[in-house]
């Protein structure tokens, strides 16, 4: 079993889309894949249950048939910072709860388990706990999704620096073209290829299906 934590340079940079693409690609290659979104904020009522759109995407993309509760055990209704939503709901976001959900997935023995964070790397879970602390304690290798837009160089390099300084392995980064109109896109990708302390795993185009060969190559590297 291979497992990774997927984070991003910010919120709305395509973490869920990239994670779902990797889970689906792994499934097409005959792998048993599972996505894990431990904490999700922003839910809608669907068939008498609260459903988060990102968690549903991971549920659909996972090749193993499990309940949505296995994919996303902690759901917070308002689309705001999770620690604030949890405080308002009287819910404690703690490491044991997140680890328990991961243990439940590990017991199913998937070939590839992708745990996706919320927001960026230093996501607060409470006043004194960050998601990055949980990932560090679990010692999970990290994949960084870089939303290719103005400012991404700083965000990507600072995030990579924080991941490495936590003693974790940055397995690689994925360039996600979030707009299709970034000025000097290629030059920015090349700058990151030179400066990042981990390899570029692949590039996700804007509003076009990713190349199957590229996805297969990523899965081969990860598994």
Whether 221 is a known active-site residue: answer: no
**Sheet harboring 112-116: ordered strands across?**
33-36, 112-116, 2-8, 142-147, 170-176, 200-204
Catalytic residue among 2, 15, 31, 37: 37
Q: Per residue, what are the HEC states of the chain?
A: CEEEEEEECCCCCCHHHHHHHHHHHHHHCCCCEEEECCEEECEEEECCEEEEHHHHHHHHHCCCCCCHHHHCCEEECCCCCHHHHHHHHCCCCCHHHHHHHHHHHHCCCCCEEEEECCCCCCCECCCCCEHHHHHHHHCCCEEEEEECCCCHHHHHHHHHHHHHHCCCCEEEEEEECCCCCCCCHHHHHHHHHHHCCCCEEEEECCCCCCCHHHHHHHHHHHC
Q: Catalytic residues, which ones?
A: 37
């Amino acid at each position: 079993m291979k497992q990774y934590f997927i984070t991003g340079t910010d919120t709305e940079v395509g973490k869920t889309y990239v994670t779902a693409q990797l889970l689906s690609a792994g499934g097409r290659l005959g792998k048993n894949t599972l996505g894990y979104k431990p904490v999700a904020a922003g839910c809608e009522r669907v068939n008498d249950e609260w459903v988060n759109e990102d968690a549903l995407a991971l549920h659909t993309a996972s090749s193993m048939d499990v309940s949505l509760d296995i994919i996303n055990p902690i759901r917070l209704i308002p689309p705001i910072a999770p620690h604030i939503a949890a405080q308002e709901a009287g819910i404690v976001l703690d490491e044991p709860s997140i680890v328990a959900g991961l243990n439940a997935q590990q017991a199913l023995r998937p070939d590839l388990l992708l745990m996706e964070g919320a927001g960026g790397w230093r996501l607060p879970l409470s006043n004194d706990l960050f998601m990055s602390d949980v990932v560090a304690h679990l010692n999970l290798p990290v994949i960084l999704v870089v939303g290719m837009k103005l400012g991404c160089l700083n965000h990507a390099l600072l995030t990579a620096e924080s991941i490495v300084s936590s003693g974790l392995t940055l397995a690689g980064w994925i360039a996600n073209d979030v707009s299709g109109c970034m000025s000097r896109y290629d030059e920015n990708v090349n700058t990151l290829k030179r400066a990042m302390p981990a390899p570029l795993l692949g590039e996700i185009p804007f509003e076009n299906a990713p190349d199957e060969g590229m996805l297969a190559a990523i899965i081969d590297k990860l598994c």
